Amino acid sequence: MNIFFVGVLIVGGGLLLLLYMVREAFLNNVAEHELHFSDFPASFGKVTIFFISDIHRRTVSDRIIQEIKGKADLVIIGGDLTEKGVPFEKVKSNLLKLKEIGPVYFVWGNNDYEVDFRKLDAILLDLGVKVLANTSVTFESEIGEKLCLLGVDDLSQERDRLDLALFDAERNSFKILASHFPAITEKIFPEHEIRLVLSGHTHGGQIHLFGYSPYKRGGIKKLNSTILLISNGYGTTALPLRLGAPAETHLITIKRGTNE
């Protein structure tokens, strides 16, 4: 085997790997999860959430919208809707697409503050997207049982005030928390009665070389104080490449029962 042939193999292999990494970065996966909680209010039957985080520079696929339409009760954007350099018209387009699925709720991520965040806030308000910045929203069933969706602001800038979100929530309610940063779980205690946390930020490590990355792949973890979902995210930061942590969104169905 001559040196030229070896060189061709190396270059060819490198190009194939690069193409594979681009493909993983632009996948439109919808991971489906069914979670059971013994104290979920039975009168709600089930609640289904479409969760998408870390959109960054991507355009939300029409295929995802069509796949999810009619299946989700609400949409939660888990932060990093945008970043520096993304046109606001693109952000508006993504939001309008997500609104086709159902009511949209948003929590701030660190990259959202790279842009004119006051203008972003105005766009969210104008489009009827509910911003959960250390606040909560309550849903009530026909018999008066309550479900609260809480959201905290950007933890990296110490804007998060979980105490205020909890104060805003109904005390006797089933609580779900949206936070861009999964590290919010370090501030959650059993007495807060937060059953589920939805987060992103880590991109699931984005690129795993020889099994190594600064962050673990996304997934669902049972902690002492709550259950945590960390998403790989939909977009990327820096280079539009992924390896071992493919792009994903989530369709989460919550019911009464026990997880086996």
- For 152-204, write each residue's pLDDT tens digit: 999 999 999 999 999 999 989 999 999 999 999 999 999 999 999 999 999 99
- Please give the biggest Cα pair distance in the chain: 78
- Output the CA–CA distances (angstroms, integers) from residue 247 to 37, 180, 218, 232, 236, in the order listed: 27, 16, 10, 6, 8
Fold of the domain built from segment(s) 3-256: Purple Acid Phosphatase; chain A, domain 2 (3.60.21)
Beta-carbon count within 10 A of 125 CB = 11
What is the per-residue pLDDT for 13?
A: 62
The per-residue pLDDT for 10 is: 60
In whole angstroms, give the CA distance from residue 92 to residue 94. Answer: 5
Task: Give this prediction's pTM.
Answer: 0.94
**CA-based torsion, 40, 41, 43, 46: positive or negative:** negative
How many angstroms separate the first and last alpha carbons of the chain? 55
**Got the DSSP string for 134-199?**
SEEEEEE-TTS-EEEEEE---GGGT---HHHHHHHS-SSSEEEEE-S-GGGGGG--GGG-EEEEEE
Quick check: 195 and 176 in contact, CB under 8 A? yes
CB 260 within 8 A of CB 229: no
Phi, psi values for residue 70, rounded to 5°: 85, -5
Report the C-alpha dihedral over residues 217, 163, 154, 77, rounded to 10 degrees.
60
Ordered per-residue pLDDT tens for the chain, 260 residues: 577 555 555 655 668 889 999 999 999 999 999 999 999 999 999 999 999 999 999 999 999 999 999 999 999 999 999 999 999 999 999 999 999 999 999 999 999 999 999 999 999 999 999 999 999 999 999 999 999 999 999 999 999 999 999 999 998 999 999 999 999 999 999 999 999 999 999 999 999 988 789 889 999 999 999 999 999 999 998 889 999 999 999 999 999 998 65
Q: How many Å apart are CA 198 and CA 183, to the nearest integer?
A: 11
Cα gap 83→237, rounded to integer Å: 9
Q: What is the pLDDT of residue 212?
A: 81
Please report the pLDDT score of residue 11 as a whole number.
57
